[in-house]
Structure 1
Amino acid sequence: MIKHIDTMLKLWAEDLHSEVPEGAGGGNMIAMLIETKGELIRGTRGSRVLLDESADIELIVNKHLPPQLSLVVREHYCNHDSFLSQKYTHCGCSRDTYYQRLHQAHECIAELLLGKKAA
Structure 2
Amino acid sequence: MVKYIDEMLKLWAQELHSDHEGTGGGGNMIAMLMECKGELIRGTRGSRVLLDESADIELIVNKHLAPELAVAVREHYCNYDSLLSQKVMYCGCSLKTYYQRLHDAHVCIASLLGRRAA
SS of equivalent to 2:44: coil
Question: Is the contact between residue 40 and residue 52 of structure 1 (CA under 8 Å) also seen in structure 2?
Answer: no
Moved beyond 2 Å, runs of 4+: 20-23, 33-44
Question: What runs of 5+ residues in structure 1 fail to find an aligned partner?
Answer: none
Residue matched to 1:102: 102
Residue matched to 1:88: 88
Question: Once the 2 structures are TM-superposed, how far is the Cα of residue 37 of structure 1 from its aligned partner?
Answer: 3.8
Q: Distance in 2 between matches of 1:39 and 1:53?
A: 17
TM-score under structure 1 length normalisation: 0.91
SS of equivalent to 2:112: helix
Instruction: State the AA in 2 paired with 1:32.
Output: M
Question: What runs of 5+ residues in structure 2 fail to find an aligned partner?
Answer: none
Aligned-residue RMSD, C-alpha: 1.3
The number of residues matched between the two structures is 117
- Pairwise mapping of residues 10-29 of structure 1 onto structure 2 (< 5 A)? 10-19=10-19, 20-23=21-24, 25-29=25-29
Residue matched to 2:30: 30
Question: Is the contact between residue 29 and residue 55 of structure 1 (CA under 8 Å) also seen in structure 2?
Answer: no
Q: Distance in 2 between matches of 1:56 and 1:100?
A: 22
Residue matched to 1:60: 60
